[in-house]
Amino acid sequence: MTKQIFAFPAEQASELMQQWVETMVVGLNLCPFAAPEVRNNTIRYAVSAAERLETAAEDFLGELSNIQAKEEGELSTTLVSFTHCVADFDAFLDLLDLCQDLLEQAGLEGVFQLASFHPNYCFSGVPEGDISNWTNRAPFPTIHIIREGQMSRVLVHYKNPDEIPERNMALMETLGKEGLIKRFPPLAAYWESSSAGDD
């Protein structure tokens, strides 16, 4: 039996990620184009049980191929969560780099772009325990495949899009640990382990 390496069982990944998107990302307006896709049910919550980096990358490629084959109205964006590997944030960054290389090799740079989330997410130059890191902390390591054209169309109508990251970080500071847990109770189960890091 594979050891559980995250705060939640792998079987809960899809459900928890959907709850996280709806409660945190949409509920706090962390992403300006997420709400319509939630309403339209055009977000795919994919789960990879890969235990090795290479296999995880293959699963990513499969999801990239899947979204490429679908119309935007049917599938607008995909979140690929990894439940059995890259518990370490640095290992996750290696996977993210590998997936970015694969995206470029497929000639899809400019068509799709990647965003990333992890239970131990830490921005470069920011202390690990800083609450601003929680803008990108999610129940499982996740690579978000975004349609670049779709995002560009939405951001045209969004005032000062370059200020979104700073606004989100300021919101984390305002809410604090207690406020975040109150909004999304599952955060309590992995707050300490996320701050300490996983092996």
Burial per residue of 10-22, b for 16 or more beta-carbon CB atoms within 10 angstroms, e otherwise? bebbbebbeebbe
pTM for the whole thing? Answer: 0.92
Instruction: Please check whether residue 78 is in contact with residue 46, taking contact to mean a CB–CB distance below 8 angstroms.
Output: yes
Query: Over the stretch 112-132, which tens digit does the pLDDT of each residue have?
Result: 999 999 999 999 999 998 999
> What Rg, from alpha-carbon coordinates, does the chain have?
16
Which residues have CB under 8 Å from 166's CB, separation 6+?
A: none
User: How does residue 197 score in pLDDT terms, banded at 50, 70 and 90?
Assistant: very low
144-186 residue pLDDT tens: 999 998 877 766 666 777 788 999 999 999 999 999 999 999 9
CB 79 within 8 A of CB 46: yes
Give Cα 134 distance to the centre of its chain.
Answer: 11
